[in-house]
Structure 1
Amino acid sequence: MSPSTSSATGPAPRFAVVGVPGNRRVTLFQDAVRAAGLPAARVVPWPEVLRGGAEFLPGETVRMDSPGEDAEVERLLRRVDDPTRVEGSAVWYAGFTAAVRTVARAAAAAGAVLLDDPGDIAVLFDKRLCHAVLEGAGVPVPASPTSGAAAPAVRGWADVRERMADHGMPRVFVKPAHGSSASGVLAVETAGPGRVGATTSVERDASGRLFNSLRVRRVTTEREVAAIVDALAPDGLHIERWLPKATHRGRATDLRVVVVAGRATHAVVRTSRSPMTNLHLGGERGDLDDVRAAVEAAGSSWGEALAVCERAAACFPDTLCVGVDLLPSTGWRRFAVGEVNAFGDLLPRLTGLPGSGAEGLDTYAAQVAATMNRARNRRATATA
């Protein structure tokens, strides 16, 4: 029997991955495919797709991966020469969602199976739309005055101040609607007239251009906060109440939970001394066993915490895998969903949660296994 066949159910999936050749995400997925005894995935480069070329083979299973970490892709999508620039996220979003639709059309024309729904991706990459979908499904989320397509656009800092006052929100997160990896995010605090500060990784140069930095810093004047927000506003902004987070060993704490085929399979604790817990911004991994114990000691349920993530993922049923940012409240009794990420599975060497069905598997191997299981079920249904 060849490695690409199953003795009981016929041929196993043949993968094609739309990604950045040589990128660590593609490499980790290839490792998982080979470990499952399958032929290497055929790589379709994002630059090729963005130039109008996306071709698939009949019966291929097509996975779309992040277009990030590639200067050429950034130039094609954002239309800027410096990939660290923050502005241009609306142009990026329009180009990326158009490319995703191109992939979907090409896959459908070839009779290939798509693992990521283009409609889901369009919502996942617009924080305003995603918030409204989650809220409508009863998933706990931070309060927001910008939730949904019908919410008035935020035109600048004056609008942010007005929304904060009108909704009784002295502390908020201001996020680019189409951002990722905390790009352009500000954690804003007010304490009376003229007393405004923010925490952000945005750097602003002398000409007013905005750049991403790996250094989180404090902005201490309203004038500078306003300048950053005003520069970001044309691309679209989302405002959320800043919820007080639980702490782990004196550090603000949240979790990234990966949900594969509807089931929470992997979780990592992220801790930080700043409001941003992103690991690339200096956040550190915490001890998951300690967090589970803290949840149970508070009289809450770890299983319910994971169920919140699964409910969030269920809002996107046609997408195999999402990464859910879970925000534990002070005291570890309640949880809210901060964001749902289309490409939130980059957690190298992290194996599955006990009882998840993904024990011993990393996030990519879990997705390969889930895809193989789906293919077996489809064939069994067709045979029956």
Structure 2
Amino acid sequence: MTRVPVGPPVAVVGTPGDRRVTLFAAALRRHGLPEPHVIAWRDVLGGADTGATRAPRVPVPAVIPASSGNQGPSGFPGFPGFPGFPEGALVRVESPGEDAAADALLRGPGDPTRVGGGATWHARFVRALEAVRDAVGRTPGARLANDVGEIAVMFDKRLCHARLAAAGVPVPPALPGPVGGYAGLRAAMREAGWARVFVKPAHGSSASGVVALQARGPRIKATTSVELGPAGTLHNSLRVRSYEREADVAAIVDALAPDGLHVERWFPKASVGGRVFDLRVVVIGGRPTHAVARTSHVPMTNLHLGGRRGDLAAVRALLGEPGWVRAMDVCAAAAACFPGSPAVGVDLMLGAGRWEPAVAEVNAFGDLLPGLTGLPGGGAEGLDTYEAQVELLLGAARTAGHR
């Protein structure tokens, strides 16, 4: 029997061929829905007046401002090639990652492996999100699947941390105010009485530029994936390394500081099987539906940096059912801070000793967990993260159809 497509046409602003787009399209097909209309980020960004050739440092908006009213016929300021969205479309915004051309338009030209340029990237990304929102608003019947203002907040670690803390979600303490460089960082650490911190670029992702710093008197150690070049250039590396010369650590922090830093007190993570771990928990429609344990011998557990998927059942058994429920409730509370985002990825840490939870990050595009099906009792058993989101989409469409 032929399945009749149910629900609105779907458009995706993303990178054609990117795994996220491919997996989401496959989930639509499995539900009998047509292929999504894919609008490439490079096309969205290519005509914008971003000053990409100059790559200036620009202030970071805390929220997406209202439309200025200067849009052209397509609804995008300076986007004459943008084809527009289908009428009645549900528009999903995906990551602009995995596209060197989009990265160059966001950060400015240069080696894609370089670390830095986050403030420029974020400001241009916010402007592009605003343009997408305005174009959707000008398309009859179209609506956004995810709130672009919330995406902008999740891509600023300072704003995200503040929102979580204000809502009572447990997060590690953070240094207040801007950190101007290495000297200012060390002074702030002494004032706070902290010997160990995580230094995070305010707009980084995938642990790019993150430094786990330990400083006791003259002894210092910085663990990071940053490769410090001979001319002081910083590049991402797939190998986590340690620096113990203060001059090297100072050079890294001073190079990162102009783009904005978020500094948290080091949260000692629990370990299992001799490896520290944290959890990536995907919350869909307000419910934690998927989770993976990420383990490592170093402070960064990212899988692309040598982290490995751990035994989630073993973690759950060690926590016990009350501890597991508490952990999932914290993830749901973090996601509730972003009610316009139907799916987010929460990075949850569990403290060594008492296993107290703390949220490290909330990721707007944290659902890329290929092949992982839903948690028992989570409402997405047998479904991957994208299939679960399509189920949510269809349920919302059916509800709207009965109004």
The TM-score range, normalised by the shorter chain, is over 0.9
Q: Which deviates the most, 116-125 or 210-219?
A: 116-125
Match of 1:302 among 299, 310, 324: 324
Quote the residue 1:149 is aligned against.
none
Contact 2:115–2:208 (Cα < 8 Å) also in 1: yes
- DSSP-derived class of the 2:96 partner: coil
1:109 aligns with 2:138: yes
Which residue identity does 1:20 align to in structure 2? Answer: T
Query: Is residue 9–residue 86 contact of structure 2 (8 Å, CA) maintained in 1?
Result: no
Counterpart-to-counterpart distance in 1, 2:352 and 2:322:
12
**SS at structure 2 position matched to 1:160:** helix
CA distance in structure 2 between the aligned counterparts of 1:230 and 1:300, rounded to whole angstroms: 44
* 1:32–1:332 Cα change, 3 Å: farther
The aligned amino acid for 1:171 is R
SS in structure 1 at match of 2:346: strand
User: Cα distance, 1:72 vs. partner?
Assistant: 0.6
Amino acid at match of 1:256: R
Question: CA, structure 1 residues 216+185, in 2 after alignment: closer, same or farther (shift >3 Å)?
Answer: same
- The residue type paired with residue 169 of structure 1 is W
**Contact 2:170–2:358, Cα closer than 8 Å, also in 1:** yes
1-structure distance, mates of 2:281, 2:304: 17
1:197 aligned onto 2:247: no
For 2:391, the aligned partner's letter is A
**Structure 1 residues 107-149: Cα deviation after superposition (integer angstroms, max 9, x where no partner):** 1111312111121011100000000000000000000013xxx
Q: Which residue of structure 2 lines up, in the alignment, with residue 34 of structure 1?
A: 29
Q: 2: CA distance between counterparts of 1:50 and 1:133?
A: 29
Report the equivalent of 2:17.
22
2:96 counterpart of 1:61: no
Q: Deviations over 1:173-232 (max 9, x none)?
A: 00000000000000000122x211110000111111110000000011121111000000
For residue 301 of structure 1, give the secondary structure of its aligned residue in structure 2.
helix
1:121 corresponds to 2:151: yes
Q: Deviations over 1:34-78 (max 9, x none)?
A: 011100111111011112236112211111111111111111111
2:163 to 133, 136, 143: 133
Tell me the C-alpha RMSD between the 2 structures.
1.3
Out of 160, 167, 176, the residue aligned to residue 192 of structure 2 is 167
**Match status 1:143 vs 2:168:** no
Q: How many residues align?
A: 368
**Residue 212 (structure 1) aligned with residue 212 (structure 2):** no
2:278 equivalent in structure 1: 254
CA distance in 1, matches of 2:3, 2:36: 14
Q: Distance in 2 between matches of 1:376 and 1:171?
A: 51
Structure 1 residue 379, shift from structure 2 partner: 2.4
Asked whether the equivalents of residues 264 and 310 of structure 1 are also in contact (C-alpha less than 8 Å), the reply is yes
**Aligned-partner Cα distance in 2 for 1:29–1:332:** 38
**Percent of matched pairs sharing the same residue:** 57
Shift of 1:371: 1.0
Q: Which amino acid aligns with 1:263?
A: R
Indicate the SS of the match to 1:365: helix
The amino acid across from 1:158 in the alignment is A
Question: 2:62 — aligned with what?
Answer: none
Q: Is residue 196–residue 222 contact of structure 1 (8 Å, CA) maintained in 2?
A: yes
Distance in 2 (CA, whole Å) between partners of 1:38 and 1:201 is: 41
Aligned to 2:260: 236
Offset of 1:357 from its aligned partner? 1.0
Q: What SS does the corresponding residue of 2:209 show, helix, strand or coil?
A: coil
> What is the CA distance between 1:81 and its match in structure 2?
2.4
Unaligned runs of 5+ in 1: 6-10, 147-151
What's the secondary structure of 1:270's corresponding residue?
strand
Please identify runs of 4+ aligned residues in structure 1 that moved more than 2 A: 1-5, 51-54
What's the TM-score once normalised by structure 2's chain length?
Answer: 0.89
2:42 equivalent to 1:47: yes
Give the distance between the partners of 2:19 and 2:4, measured in 1 at CA.
24
**CA 286–332 in structure 1, closer or farther in 2 if over 3 Å, else same:** farther
Match of 1:8 in 2: none
Structure 2 gaps of 5+ residues are 47-78
* 2:89 alignment partner AA: E
Q: CA separation in 1, counterparts of 2:343 and 2:151?
A: 11
Offset of 1:331 from its aligned partner?
2.9
Are the aligned partners of 1:4 and 1:12 in contact in 2 as well (CA < 8 Å)? no
Once the two structures are superposed, what CA deviation does each residue of 1:347-374 show, in whole Å capped at 9, x if it has no partner? 0000000111111110111111111111
1:86 matched to 2:86? The reply is: no
The Cα of 1:80 is off from its aligned counterpart by 2.5
Counterpart CA distance in 1 for 2:4 and 2:323 is: 41
2:249 matches 1:225: yes
Give the partner amino acid of 2:183: A
**Cα distance in 1 between the residues matched to 2:44 and 2:3:** 30
Letter in 1 for 2:255: A
